[in-house]
Structure 1
Amino acid sequence: MQQAICGYHLDEEAHWVAKLSCGHFQHVRHDPPWQMRPWVLTQASRNKMLGHRLNCIKCDQGAPKDQLAK
């Protein structure tokens, strides 16, 4: 199911994670040659991707919303 990116945070290993409008989180790594997402490298390019839709497998699976660890 396609869901819009509405924010970002860094995980405990300093990898970027997108917060989706459905409440799920999804890693958005730039890890060539496997994952090509150079837009995660700068704040400006991440901001331009706000609203962009990603496929949310967690929605397809009916998973509960994600929460940040405290």
Structure 2
Amino acid sequence: MSDSANTHSGAGLAVPRRILGFERDAAGEWIVHLDCGHRRHVRHRPPLSDYPWLGDAAARAARVGAEIECGRCGRGELPDGAAVYRATDVFDEATLPAGLRRDHTIRAGSWGRVEVLAGRLRFVMAALAVDRELAEGEHAIIPPEVPHHVAPLGPVRMRVVFLRAPAPDIPPGS
């Protein structure tokens, strides 16, 4: 599920994520499962991509827990199957908590969707070069653990919806 058109200005920066496990696709290429809920193909094709540990089961196992970049997080793409589990109250320019107005993060494993119900809101995620105005009916996706904040631009009504990706189905012994 992609929400990048509603989230980012096209910066497409990568976010470091932890490897949870590995599997092969139908063509025999390696896919890593990441703690953000995304899956990513990884290929050892020097000099473009250098992952010599892919060819050795013990070396792959040793990489579980290590970081690798996730471009899909940088583009603000929700993981496939992400589902809503909670939402905040609706806030206006007077009730918007101070904590949302300053940089803060969403915990590991959770995603956010800032929804503007009326008015305009500034959404800033400096680490991913995002600084944009959201108008009524628009939203922005917030990856886990990426600092961000919002600021009302006059009268506004907004809320934050929290989502989780399904647990990965990692084949044993990958």
TM exceeding 0.5: yes
Q: Is 2:70 the partner of 1:56? A: yes
The answer as to whether partners of 1:6 and 1:18 remain within 8 angstroms in 2 is: yes
Percent of pairs identical after alignment? 34
Please identify which structure carries the higher helix content.
1
Structure 1 runs of 4+ aligned residues shifted over 3 Å read: none
Q: Is the 8 A contact 1:3 1:21 kept in 2?
A: yes
Q: 2: distance between equivalents of 1:30 and 1:66?
A: 25
Please tell me the residue identity of whatever aligns with 1:57: G
Superposed counterparts of 1:23-42, under 5 Å: 23-42=37-56
SS in 1 for 2:21: strand
C-alpha separation in 2, matches of 1:66 and 1:16: 18
| Number of aligned residue pairs | 68
- Deviation, structure 1 residue 34: 2.3
Partner-residue secondary structure (3-state), 2:53: helix
1:17 and 2:31 equivalent?
A: yes
Separation (CA, whole Å) in 2 of partners of 1:66 and 1:30 = 25
Q: Is the 8 A contact 1:25 1:66 kept in 2?
A: no
What's the TM-score, normalizing by structure 2? Answer: 0.37
Greater strand fraction, Structure 1 or Structure 2: 2
Q: Counterpart amino acid of 2:30?
A: W
Give the corresponding residue for 1:43. 57
Unaligned runs of 5+ in 1: none
Q: Shift of residue 56 of structure 1?
A: 0.9
Q: Which protein has the larger Cα radius of gyration, Structure 1 or Structure 2?
A: 2
Distance 1:5 1:21 in 2: 6
The unaligned stretches of length 5 or more in structure 2 are: 1-14, 82-167, 169-174
TM value normalised by structure 1: 0.85
Amino acid at match of 1:10: R
